[in-house]
Structure 1
């Protein structure tokens, strides 16, 4: 896969996480605690710096009260 496309996928996913987190009025720290992840990890996901695992996608979706699928739309 093209590196540019990979980066766009990660950035789009991260933007969706940020929007949903803000809609739920959660800080990065609060979301991280709910997921059992580090706050800096959540920040990296939101900035598109992380190639996040399926397990962590699932954890974030549960914490946001959505299905994992919704994070990709």
Structure 2
């Protein structure tokens, strides 16, 4: 399940893109991002780096603050995240 904070930011990115009259492909080109990656952002499925946030703002020709204005994170961001490719330690056999 996508994090509500990520979903809210993704919806904002999509709204600004549509308001600007840009297709996903056009916007992704301006941002130098893959259109499939941008789709994941817009669905709230992607955790964004500062560099990517900057690229999105530049591509949409808007201040970074507009992407987050009025959106507040909730406590779900503090919940432990499952680790990728986590394996239990193997016991050494002697």
Q: Same fold (TM over 0.5)?
A: yes
The aligned residue for residue 55 of structure 1 is 51
Deviations 1:20-70 (A, max 9, x none): 000000011101000111000000000000001110110110111111111
Q: Tell which structure's C-alpha radius of gyration is larger.
A: 2
The aligned residue for residue 23 of structure 2 is 27
**Which structure 1 residue ranges, 4+ long, deviate > 3 Å from structure 2?**
none
List gaps (5 residues or longer) in structure 2. 70-94
List gaps (5 residues or longer) in structure 1. none
- Out of 26, 33, 36, the residue aligned to residue 32 of structure 2 is 36
Relative to the length of structure 2, the TM-score reads: 0.70
Identify, as 1 or 2, the structure richer in helix.
1
* SS of aligned partner of 2:21: coil
RMSD: 1.3
Q: How many residue pairs were aligned?
A: 69
Could you tell me how far apart the structure 2 residues matched to 1:20 and 1:50 are?
Answer: 18
Could you tell me how far apart the structure 2 residues matched to 1:65 and 1:36 are?
Answer: 14
Could you tell me how far apart the structure 2 residues matched to 1:28 and 1:51 are?
Answer: 18
Relative to the length of structure 1, the TM-score reads: 0.89
